[in-house]
Every structure is written in C-alpha cells, then in structure tokens.
Structure 1
C-alpha cells in the first residue's frame, strides 16, 4: 500500500471527477485530502430543495463523480480502495479513497477514461438507427460491474407504457411552482460555470413528442426533426434505496454513460419518473424488477451534443481541511 495521496493527485483526479453529470448541472460535490485519503462529500449548499428534497439526485451525481475519481486514479497508476459512508457522524462524506497497490491501467480503463471529456447529455432528437445488440450488452455489463442492474425497455407497447409513466410524472412536477422556479434558476442564457446553458437545453417540447422534456429554454427545432418514435430507453437500478445504494447507482450510471460514449452513442437523462414516488413504483412494477430504479436514459445515435460547463477544480477542493 502507498503512504497516501498528495494534493497534486487530488487535484488531477478531481479535475476528471467534476465532468460527471448532475441534475440541472448543479455539481453538488466537494473533495478533500484527509490523512492521506481522498474524501468525496455532497455539498449541501447545492441541493435542490424543490426538485430533490431527499438528496437522492445529489448522491447519485456524487456517485458518478466517484467513478470518474476512481478511474482517473487507476489510469494514473495509483488505483484506490474505496470505503462508502466512512464516518457515521459525518453523513455528507460519501466516500473515502486510499491508495491500493500500484499497477498499470488496463486497456478497458484507458478507453473508459478517454470517454470522460466526450461524455455529455444530448437532448436533441436522435437518428432512427437502432442500437446494435453488442452495444446494448456492453451497457448491461457496465451496470452489473458496479453492483447494479440495467433494464432496456424494448418494443412499442413497453415504450408507450413507459412514456405514459414519464408524462404523468412530468405533469405532477410541472404543477409545483417551486419546482418550476428552481429549474428556471438553473437555466443559463449567458456563459456560466454551472447550470444548463440554453444552447444545451434541447429543442422546445411539442405536443407530438413521446417523452417529456424539461423546459430549459431550448431553441425551436428544425422542420422534420421530431424525436424518434421508438427510442431505446434504459433504466439503471440498485438493490435498495439507501444512501449507499444511491452512490452505487451513480457509479453504475457513469460507467454506463462512458461505455455508451465509447460506443459512439448519444444519451440523455430522464429523471422525472424517478422524482415522483408513485411513478417510480409504477416503473419498477412495469419492469418486473426487485430493487429501486435510480435513473432513466434515452439512448441512440445523433449529432454531437453540446457540453455543459464546469466550475474550476479550485472551487470544489477543501484544501483548508487537508492534512497530509
């Protein structure tokens, strides 16, 4: 075992970690070095009280950042052993990473790592090209590697049933003025290090759309650029719904997203059916799965999307708390 990570290693790994997705691009994470270990905490100041009152979305986002953190360290030849929820008296600290035996990264790790800067949500319509079976298999394997499951919603009737659950959840959320105001507060018409830029918000919703879209102020779509009539929908789920389960689901989500990016696929996230408890249970029952759905994705092929900005790594490091 190594003696501990350095500030330079923390900074390098956190630079990759912050490329993870988060609801409304809130980036709800903080990193510190404590007794030679890198610690990841959820940032309570960046929670979404109306949209995410339980903190589920923030913890899933931190789990995704944790996967990038692990991958960055592994590719640098300094892999880590991870302990989740290391301190019972500090519930905001979600993970502690300490050095494992040094080793060379595998080709698969290098490929996943190369996908980090190319991964971002694509809210535009996708092309009609089907996702081949081998790519679908890779996505399922990625979730299983992180102790989670991935279920594909396949077939017209199954997709239509899911779409009804998603639209119903969307209607419930849209009836809440606090939810609408919170979303609007994170839309960015001007350059900003966080939030969702209008240029990345996707086209405005139209009545014929099968799946709901959040109103991020996107542009009107071009003629003939409707969304795909039978999208490939994938659900990532975990065995339970504890804090640890949610962090595991975030790691699985990011591993799936990087596998999709490495396969040339475009992905957008649909969390409305997860945010409404009744819709989440209806989704679980429709899938016939034990456990808890944690995120829904629309997957396909499309034009390159628009990356969302990130805060500088210095804004998410707690170096004052660092002890080496």
Structure 2
C-alpha cells in the first residue's frame, strides 16, 4: 500500500495538469490545496472567476472543475497512484467540489484503456474548419463508452439531429449577440494584445466571420483582420453530452466525462471544440434533447473532426492555483506519513 505523503514536486505536477483543463472563456475557475494528510488534493470552485450572465447557475463552472478533476486523476496515475474521487464531500463547504485521494498504488493496466497523460498537454480547442472526413465508428464507440464510464451519455448525432442542433445553436448565437450585457461579459475575457494568464487570445478565436454552416461563437461581434474568411465542413460531426440529473454533482460528472472523451479523442488524432451557445438559454437547451428519447439533461455540444490543432491558451501559474498554506514537504524536513 502506498500511504506516502505527496511531495511538493508531485503536488505542483498535479496542479499543473489540473490547470490545463478546458473552461468557459478560459476563465480557469478552480483552486487546489493538499488534503490535511497530504495524501491527495482538494479541489475548489473559484466564484471570483465565474461568468455569471452567461452561466448564472454555475453549470459551466462546475463542468470546468469536473474536467480539472479528471486531469488530476490522470496525473495521479502517472505518479503511480490510484485516484479515489469524492464529489461535494462537505455540505458546509459549498466551494469544495471534490477530493482526489492518492493513497493506493495504481492498477497494473491503464483504467481508461490507454495512458492519457500526454494528451493533457496536447488537448486544445480547435475553432478552425475540419476536413469533410467521418470519424470512424470504432472511435466513436470508444468515446461513447468513455462517457458511460463517468456516468454520462454521449449521443452521436445523425444528419437530422446535427441540423436541429446547428439551428438551435445559431438561434442562441444571434440572441447572445443582441444581449449587450452578455457580449460585454464575453469581451472582458478576450486577450487580444498583451500576454495574459487566462482568457482567450486572438490566435484561439477561430474565424470570426460567422460561417452560417457551423455557428461558432463570435467573441468580438466583428471580423478581425487576423481572422480571414474560411469555410467550415459541410456537415460537422456533433455529439451531445447528457446526464440523468441536473445538479452540481451531475455537472461535475459531465466535466469528468468531457475531459475523458476529449483526451481520448486527442490520443486518436481528433480535434474538438464545444458549441456551448444553445445550453446558455433555457429554451434552446431544452430543444437540444433528442425528441425521440426526451430524457436527460444536455450539458454541452461537442464538435469532433480532423483538422488543424488549436493553439495553446494561456494558463495561470501553479503558484496562483495551488494553496500550500500549512503544507510541509516530507522530503525537506516534514514528518512522513509512510
């Protein structure tokens, strides 16, 4: 049995991996601290980095933190430890999203079918056009199974479903552009000039000329000189990610499922981006559900395909997201709990 306290170096690796997760507008709404016995990591939501007009219920915030939780699990396996996750463990600590305990040795075979650690650093949102090339059924099957493994449902859409979701996304995008307060909130996360540790740089925006075939989010409300007109794929490969419930624990599960899917897709050479607009309005979100099934709650829409990798987006320094108050590294003078 491992039962060995995490060192400072290991904690920094874990926080760095967790901080590479995706988040709405790259807001990075998380912070981490060692568990009291230094055998794991506590994961907190950071309400100061919320996007309240676009995400009033905190759904996207929790999905982002869930993605960070999954990265922690993958990084824990890289350290030779088996991650044990608890979601929302303390009722009197509403910002404590979960804990990842790393006190046991890792299993002998990768629990996710393959080692996903390197994919953490290779995964980026790609808002560029993809090739008109189908994703193989066997790969889609792996991604669907990955979602189920996290308690979520990935529904790969047929042509009629794709067109329905694109229409809803387009409607939501137009509504957002007409909402001056929401657009101002979105623009507040743009980082078009000076380097920054969060937000969206110009290189990551993708084309901003609003190709009607795939309504990607228009962050600026105008065409940038750095964003030439491009044609998107004729019929994108879309999938909805749903959960049976619609509470914070379900959103955290959706985030873990999203990241597991995305890392596995990255390992297969796929690119991905999230079409989030339609889940931001209650009526269009309701319309995202499969009318034939009519169950579950759609948490996001994922676009998959083959194309150029998205650029890396800035990340907050580890010292900003990892709180080491009270921590003593057992390897530099603290007492070991071996």
Same fold judged by TM-score > 0.5?
A: yes
Coarse TM-score class (shorter-chain normalised): over 0.9
Partner of 2:11: 10
Gaps in structure 1 of 5+ consecutive residues: none
Partner of 1:152: 156
Contact 1:119–1:261 (CA<8 Å) still a contact in 2?
A: yes
Contact 1:167–1:211 (CA<8 Å) still a contact in 2?
A: yes
- Residue 274, structure 1, aligned to residue 282, structure 2: no
- Residue 115, structure 1, aligned to residue 122, structure 2: no
Partner of 2:335: none
Q: Given the two structures, how large is their TM-score scaled by the length of structure 2?
A: 0.89
One of 211, 218, 232 as aligned partner of 1:214: 218
Q: Which moved more, 1:123-132 or 1:204-213?
A: 204-213
Gaps in structure 2 of 5+ consecutive residues: 330-338
Contact 1:20–1:68 (CA<8 Å) still a contact in 2?
A: yes
Q: How much has 1:305 moved relative to structure 2?
A: 1.9
One of 256, 259, 266 as aligned partner of 1:251: 256
Contact 2:72–2:100 (CA<8 Å) still a contact in 1?
A: no
- Residue 175, structure 1, aligned to residue 178, structure 2: yes
Q: How much has 1:34 moved relative to structure 2?
A: 2.8
Q: How much has 1:92 moved relative to structure 2?
A: 0.4
Correspondence list, 1:270-309, <5 A: 270-286=275-291, 288-309=293-314
Correspondence list, 1:33-182, <5 A: 33-36=34-37, 37-103=40-106, 106-107=109-110, 108=112, 111-155=115-159, 157-182=160-185
Distance 1:185 1:18 in 2: 21
Q: Can you list the C-alpha shifts for 1:48-85, whole angstroms capped at 9, x where unaligned?
A: 12111111111100000000001100121022211110
- Change in 2 beyond 3 A, CA 1:54/1:117: same
Q: Can you list the C-alpha shifts for 1:262-289, whole angstroms capped at 9, x where unaligned?
A: 1111101111111111111111143624
Distance 1:132 1:198 in 2: 32
Q: Given the two structures, how large is their TM-score scaled by the length of structure 1?
A: 0.93
Partner of 2:209: 205
Q: How much has 1:314 moved relative to structure 2?
A: 0.8
Distance 2:270 2:316 in 1: 26
Q: Can you list the C-alpha shifts for 1:292-311, whole angstroms capped at 9, x where unaligned?
A: 11111111000222111101
Q: How much has 1:188 moved relative to structure 2?
A: 0.8
Distance 2:113 2:74 in 1: 7
Contact 1:41–1:92 (CA<8 Å) still a contact in 2?
A: yes
- Residue 27, structure 1, aligned to residue 28, structure 2: yes
Q: Which moved more, 1:242-251 or 1:131-140?
A: 131-140
- Change in 2 beyond 3 A, CA 1:287/1:11: farther
Provide the secondary structure at the position in 2 that maps to 1:31: strand
Count of aligned pairs:
321
